[in-house]
Structure 1
Amino acid sequence: MWFLIGTLSRWALFAGLLVAVGVVAFKLVVLRRFPGFEPEGDDAAGAMPERLAARIGGLAVLLAGAGALGRLAAEVSVFRDPFEPLGAEVRLLVTATSWGRAWLAQIAAVVLSGLAFALAAARGPRAEFGWMAGTAGVVLLAYTPALAGHAAGAEHFVTPAVTAHVFHMVAGGAWLGTLAVIAGVLVLGRHRGIPISKRRIIDWISAFSPLALGSAAVIAVTGLFQAWLHVGTVSALWTEPYGRTLSLKLLVVLGVAGCGAYNWRRAPGRVADAGDPPRLPPTVAVELGAAGLLLLVTAILTGTPPPVH
């Protein structure tokens, strides 16, 4: 049972982190080029894409926080001494281990980001400060999994391993997280009665595509480096549990990349030909569903000891 809880907790942490990174990328890259629409009246102002993205960011960091709490429960269940008080065991794990210190930083990042996105979703000058604080919190949150995972436990090249892990996560968020945020903003805007025009959706896709392509390249490079660092030998890809899970992840990555390539070439035309209200093509939902499966395999992988450790 605790294996399942640990896996689902890591999935929640990774999913929340990637969407939170996507919220920041949506604000800094997509909306910087194409702000969206100019609302009229207070009710419409509450549905501006920037504010909708901030609300999505708040939900994302809450999901990441739930994952962090689940991870703590799973870790305590594995290492707990039944003859010691539970409170003392939790305190020892959190304060006296590198994993615990990374976990504390994770919780701090969740709290900071959550409060900041709440400010960013509000009206007035506080919103811009909220975006700055939220960006800082997401950067910290993106750094913490590497400190509590395989990268920090590598036998060699620890600093490059941690750096590669951080870039890997951020690139994943810039690609898949941003796509999820675009889809979420369109759905929320439509439900609030202020759908975004086809022209603006196509503009957003145009701004997103180079970001996704660059992120995919970063994911490929950092992923290969981490595989070389943790697997050791090629035969481990099919003889070791970690290697087999990594091989499965690579297959899912190829599937996600195939969906992304299709959407890159076809999505603008599909949006232009769609009826009203405008929406993204169904293949985007397939890509996001495959991304969810990819995160699940990643959650299993990060809970499996590498053969070279």
Structure 2
Amino acid sequence: MQGVVSFAVGDPAAANAPLLLPPPPPDPLSTPAPVDVALRWLTALSLVLAVGSLIFSLTVWRSELVPDADVYESLSDALRRLAFGAALAGIIVAGGTLLRASPTAESSLLFTITGSRIGLVLMARLLLAAALAGLLRTAGTARSRWALLVGLGGLLTISWLSHSAVPQTASTSIQSGIATAASIAFDFVHLVATAAWIGSLPALMLVLLALRKRGGKLHGALVTLLVARYSSLATAAIIALAATGTIAALRHIVGIGELWTTTYGRALSIKLLLFGALLLIGGYNRWWLKTESVTSSTLSRAGLRQLRVNVGLEVALSVVLLLAVGVLTASPPARDAAQTGSDFAETVAVRDVALSLQVARDDLAGDIFAVTARGLPTDVQPEVVIRASMPAHQMGEQELELREVEPGRWGARAPLLTMPGPWQVETIVRAIGMNDVRHTFIVDTTPTSAPSTAAFTLPVWALILVLAFLGVALCQLPLGNTWQHRFQLGSLVMLLGAFMAAVSPYYFTRATEPSNPLSATPEVLAAGQAVYQRSCVTCHGVGGKGDGPAAQSLPGLPADFTQPHFATHTDAEVYGWIKGGKPGTAMPAFGEQLSEEQIWQTITYIRQFYLDAQQAAR
């Protein structure tokens, strides 16, 4: 006769404790509120347009490039008005966002502003947008520069309230603060690069429309020069966007499948597709202008018309791209959507029903099982049953009936999953008047060292490469150098960054690895010698020269502690070899035989072999 009998071990009162289900699994495809999406979209659109127009005016539209002073002054004023209009729109949107942030209708605006960090940042955004509009009311290069600084401050408020501002997980609060600040900084650079590229497109379009009526060879040559300078600006922005965007994607997405299984991932996919389309159109414009310049010294009216059409298409795609950014920032990151607050959670579609199973382990009175069913008919009263079995161990099937704890959620507590390994948990939802909804979930209770949704940590070498890419981006700015000089400088920066990234893991490891906490006192040396005589002398010899009795029978000679080469290895490296063994050699692991203090004592003792050899050589 075979069977399984389960026993609950723990506090008997826990069996009668109220059943608290884990939080319901988030819907990864939930749609954010349209008002929130619209506010975020318009915020990005207005500030990116204002900052982009100023960047275009200060880097691309230069007085020394325009021989006609009237044309320069007229279009400079038009660009200023464009940025001014965007700033006014930013004031309205910032005010709407501040009102939207009120917790309840009864909450005062003053409480919203002073009662939270979000309110303070939103108020700062409103004041910065107002200051930006004030600076842009009248013309002037100096005022434009101050306006650019204020506009950059407005972009920084977006980063302060973005996903990147969520505190980073780290071993200490200082490291967490540094990691969070770096994440905000990269997000800010991403926004500035967005403004420099797509925020400058309407300014370029405005110049093209203004020069349409003027025509002439002079203005055709001016357009060619402006597009070339804008291409340098766009190249710098695209490099920065690629570097910082990759960091954000790695941080917020766990797996590639989340690009189409979560709202955040789908918005990111649309953004990437639009990004690629803009790259193709921009690349085509650059190639087409280069071809035109070879066949003709200036652009014809037809050529200018075609360029305006292409740039107009880029502007339209940019507006849609920023809408995707609005959805992206209003949705929880895919990495957060995967965190359910339980040890197991999975949602499947069974016909028209979204069926979810959650298991919270390690409860004193057993595991907590929670089932959520969305999409059931409203006129039924379902019953929910789960059946757990482990075929690998020929364990019988155990059935558990769940009760409705919350509307649409059923739960129960029972010690069903008593052994580690993969369990088959069949979940059945049945009711009179409908077909059964059932699915078999595979719940693996094997202990794991860390959840798959652990926070993403950027390696030091990758951080150096990202900074190198940003350096290359700065080298591409149209600040007077020829494209050959910019290419050479960018190549030098990239080579230097690649070299530093290659050598940084070694030096970073040396700087952060633990050091020997013990000093070479007589007591420590005596304890280390005792361990050495017991565990090491057979191979390494009495004098530490690698000439012990068993040395000749080994596939490779043991380490000679008297040689300078061994002295170059750090105490942390030697500690790792003693504790875990040295791969590729006959050195075994002593981690289960020696305590941490004994290992450090042994290291302190074997260091004396080299010191004694050096003194004897003198």
With the shorter chain as reference, the TM-score category is 0.7 to 0.9
| 1:210 counterpart residue number | 232
Cα distance per residue 1:243-296 (max 9 Å; x no partner): 222122212211121112112222465694432895533111111111111000
- Give 1:34 deviation, angstroms: 4.9
Q: 1:187 to 1:108 in 2, by over 3 A?
A: same
SS of the residue corresponding to residue 146 of structure 2 reads helix
Q: 1:194 to 1:230 in 2, by over 3 A?
A: same
5 Å matches for 1:223-242? Answer: 223-242=245-264
| Cα contact 1:13–1:65 (8 A) shared by 2 | no
- Give 1:128 deviation, angstroms: 2.9
SS of the residue corresponding to residue 68 of structure 2 reads coil
5 Å matches for 1:239-278? Answer: 239-267=261-289, 272-275=298-301, 278=304
| Cα contact 2:205–2:308 (8 A) shared by 1 | no
| 2:324 counterpart residue number | 297
- Give 1:22 deviation, angstroms: 1.6
| 2:166 counterpart residue number | 153
Task: Tell me, in whole angstroms, the C-alpha distance in 2 between the residues paired with 1:106 and 1:252.
Answer: 28
| Cα contact 1:23–1:53 (8 A) shared by 2 | yes
- Alignment of 1:107 with 2:126, yes or no, is yes
| Cα contact 2:39–2:93 (8 A) shared by 1 | yes
Structure 2, unaligned stretches of length 5 or more?
1-30, 170-178, 337-618
| 2:62 counterpart residue number | 32
AA of the residue aligned to 2:51: V
Task: Tell me, in whole angstroms, the C-alpha distance in 2 between the residues paired with 1:170 and 1:234.
Answer: 27
| Cα contact 1:65–1:107 (8 A) shared by 2 | yes
| Cα contact 1:34–1:200 (8 A) shared by 2 | no
**Is the deviation greater in 65-74 or in 155-164?**
65-74
| 1:123 counterpart residue number | none
**Is the deviation greater in 51-60 or in 294-303?**
51-60
Task: Tell me, in whole angstroms, the C-alpha distance in 2 between the residues paired with 1:267 and 1:298.
Answer: 31
| Cα contact 1:245–1:300 (8 A) shared by 2 | yes
Task: Tell me, in whole angstroms, the C-alpha distance in 1 between the residues paired with 2:320 and 2:278.
Answer: 9
Cα distance per residue 1:83-129 (max 9 Å; x no partner): xx24x2x3222222111111112112111111111122xxxxxx233
> Which one has more relative contact order, counting CA pairs under 8 Å at least 6 apart?
1
Task: Tell me, in whole angstroms, the C-alpha distance in 1 between the residues paired with 2:212 and 2:120.
Answer: 42
- Counterpart of 2:136 (choices 98, 117, 127) is 117
- Alignment of 1:7 with 2:37, yes or no, is yes
Greater fraction of residues in strand: 2
5 Å matches for 1:26-175? Answer: 26-32=56-62, 34-40=64-70, 47=74, 49-76=75-102, 79-80=103-104, 85-86=106-107, 88=108, 90-120=109-139, 127-156=140-169, 157-175=179-197
SS of the residue corresponding to residue 281 of structure 1 reads helix
| 2:343 counterpart residue number | none
Task: Tell me, in whole angstroms, the C-alpha distance in 1 between the residues paired with 2:99 and 2:282.
Answer: 36
| 1:176 counterpart residue number | 198
Q: 1:265 to 1:185 in 2, by over 3 A?
A: same
| Cα contact 1:26–1:178 (8 A) shared by 2 | yes
| Cα contact 1:12–1:66 (8 A) shared by 2 | no
**Is the deviation greater in 235-244 or in 283-292?**
235-244
Task: Tell me, in whole angstroms, the C-alpha distance in 2 between the residues paired with 1:131 and 1:31.
Answer: 13
AA of the residue aligned to 1:232: V
Q: 1:165 to 1:197 in 2, by over 3 A?
A: same
Task: Tell me, in whole angstroms, the C-alpha distance in 1 between the residues paired with 2:232 and 2:282.
Answer: 12
Task: Tell me, in whole angstroms, the C-alpha distance in 2 between the residues paired with 1:3 and 1:267.
Answer: 43
Larger Rg: 2
Structure 1, unaligned stretches of length 5 or more?
121-126
| Cα contact 1:62–1:110 (8 A) shared by 2 | yes
Task: Tell me, in whole angstroms, the C-alpha distance in 2 between the residues paired with 1:52 and 1:277.
Answer: 23
| Cα contact 1:113–1:134 (8 A) shared by 2 | yes
5 Å matches for 1:190-205? Answer: 197-205=219-227
| 1:124 counterpart residue number | none
